[in-house]
Amino acid sequence: MVGRESHKCMVIKPWIAVVPTTHDRAPPNKVPFLLKRSIKPMHPMHPMHKAVHPHFGTVYSLFPFSNFSSPSISPPNMASFGARARRAIASVPFLFIAAWCFRQMDIPKVVEYQDLVVKAGVIEWDGGSVKILDDFFGVDYLNEMWRGVTATFAPSTLAFDSVSWWQVFSFLIDLGPVYAIWILESYRAGSAYGPVYFPTFFTLAGQYVGLGSVAPVYYFLSLAFGPTASDLARLSTEDRTIRNKDTGLLVLIVLLFHTFEAFAMYVSPENETRHYWTWAWQFTPLWIGMANVLISIVTKRLLSNSNVLTSPRLLVALLGAISAGVWGYVLLYSPYPLSTVFLPSNEEKPVGVEHCREALQTDEVSLFSSSFLWLIYSFLDLGFAGLLGSDTLFQIALLPIIAFAGGPGAAFSFGWYVREKALSRPKK
């Protein structure tokens, strides 16, 4: 504990060293939970990164590029190994969803169709054709890697499979809130260097094997190894939630690198333009991740906490509203029933356009099934931590209505907002 007369350098295992100064020291009864943990004297000249914390004096970090004030650094995962094991066992249903999706998508059959199209060099259908671009990335390996994937999306983007156009257009727009929420969760206290700290890895993998197969694994790891609601409840209400200054201009980044490209893929007047943007969209998760890191370095110092552009709630609200708008368009103008558009059949399809449609439908069902299951687990976690109120329960009850009226992307955005609001509630 930091006392008023103490001048020894102290280490908080495993990362932080605190050197009390004569200014702004916290009184003993105000020392937060983390500083009450294992502390031992350390040589005051230990070569560690130096910073000044407003309450605890001079702070030395073993990680020179970490930010002590960032919620992603604290708290560490405080649950015991046994508790983590029990949470992992309880989260096994997510792995079942991932296995189901991978099996139903039948990637080898999708690849077989891709090979047929790539070998021809032209995407052909009754009434038209588009030549597959030879060199988009300027790197042969990347061109070969993604050329077949663009063929998988061709039936929907070029609309020679009308059912698939309605489904995949809505699906891709709904990915915007998912990408954004995963990045926001990487800023969560206790997420540093855990699995959810690297959302770009999961989203980029999802581009290649289907996000429906990857998302359940992401949520499993998040629940098993991420901070629990009980861990977060030990912090101040401010530190439990995502801080504005940590989000940079993520809303503009997602709109530019994902939402704009998705619209260009499906509503551009020329088929060649749609094909071009299908290529461009393949690396969207990477561009979002890189742009977010680079821009955040600048905006974290320039934008204040109250800046509306950096508000996580604005981000999910705006992307959720766009998703709801596209969903509403599908409801009003699609000539097909929702079950035909969004639900895969149990019939095995031959290699070709129909199987690609089934694979992408399965991809969406798996992604949002696991996303809503993660919300359910999260709300239960909040209840055990004493952070749920009657108003929160009422908002949770609205989720099925929002899912039907606004679509899965809007409902997932609203569910995350409700969870974030509950985390800001004082513990009962």
Domain residue extents for the chain: 10-61, 83-423
Kindly state the average pLDDT of the residues 320-325: 96
Q: State how far Cα 233 lies from the chain centre.
A: 22
Q: Which of 93-102, 137-146, 249-258 has the highest mean pLDDT?
A: 93-102
Kindly state the average pLDDT of the residues 211-234: 91
Which residues, listed in sequence order, are joined to residue 61 by a DSSP beta bridge? 16, 49
State the Cα torsion 249-254-255-261 to the nearest 10°. Answer: 150
Instruction: Note the pLDDT tens digit of each residue in 224-269.
Output: 988 888 888 888 777 787 866 666 678 889 999 999 999 999 999 9
Kindly state the average pLDDT of the residues 283-301: 84
Render the burial of 15-32: b for 16+ CB within 10 Å, e for the rest: bbbbbbeeeebbeeeebb
Share of the chain above pLDDT 90, in %: 55
Kindly state the average pLDDT of the residues 342-356: 89
Least confident span in 105-114, 213-222, 241-250: 241-250
Model confidence at 356: pLDDT above 50:
yes
pLDDT for 302 equals: 66
pLDDT for 428 equals: 63
First-to-last CA distance in the chain? 27
pTM of the model: 0.80
CA-to-CA distance for 144 and 97, rounded, in angstroms? 30
CA angle 73, 288, 175 (to 5 degrees): 100
Give the torsion sign (CA, 277, 280, 284, 288).
Answer: negative
Share of the chain above pLDDT 70, in %: 77
The single residue listed with the structure tokens 């401010």 is: 238
Q: What is the overall mean pLDDT for the chain?
A: 80
pLDDT for 348 equals: 83
Model confidence at 312: pLDDT above 80:
no
Tokens of 372: 């809503």
Q: How confident is the model at residue 124 (pLDDT cuts 50, 70, 90)?
A: very high
Residue 73 vs residue 140, higher pLDDT: 140
Model confidence at 50: pLDDT above 60:
no
Kindly state the average pLDDT of the residues 37-47: 37
